[in-house]
Chains A and B, each alone.
Chain A
Amino acid sequence: EPEVTQTPSHQVTQMGQEVILRCVPISNHLYFYWYRQILGQKVEFLVSFYNNEISEKSEIFDDQFSVERPDGSNFTLKIRSTKLEDSAMYFCASSGSPRTPQHFGDGTRLSIL
Chain B
Amino acid sequence: EDKVVQSPLSLVVHEGDTVTLNCSYEVTNFRSLLWYKQEKKAPTFLFMLTSSGIEKKSGRLSSILDKKELFSILNITATQTGDSAVYLCAVGRDTGNQFYFGTGTSLTVIP
Binding site for B on A (CB under 8 A): 4, 31, 33, 35, 41-45, 48, 50, 55-56, 58, 91, 98-107
Contact = CB atoms under 8 A, between A and B. Distances in A.
Contact of A42 (B31, B48, B92, B102): B102
Q: Which of B31, B45, B104 has the most CB of A within 10 A?
A: B45
B29 interface: no
B97 A98 contact: yes
B32 A99 contact: yes
Contacts of B32: 99
A106 B90 CA distance: 18
Nearest to B4: A42
A91 B42 contact: yes
B103 interface: yes
Given A33-B98, A48-B96, 12 more contacts: A4-B42, A33-B97, A41-B103, A42-B102, A42-B104, A43-B43, A43-B90, A48-B98, A56-B97, A91-B42, A104-B43, A106-B42
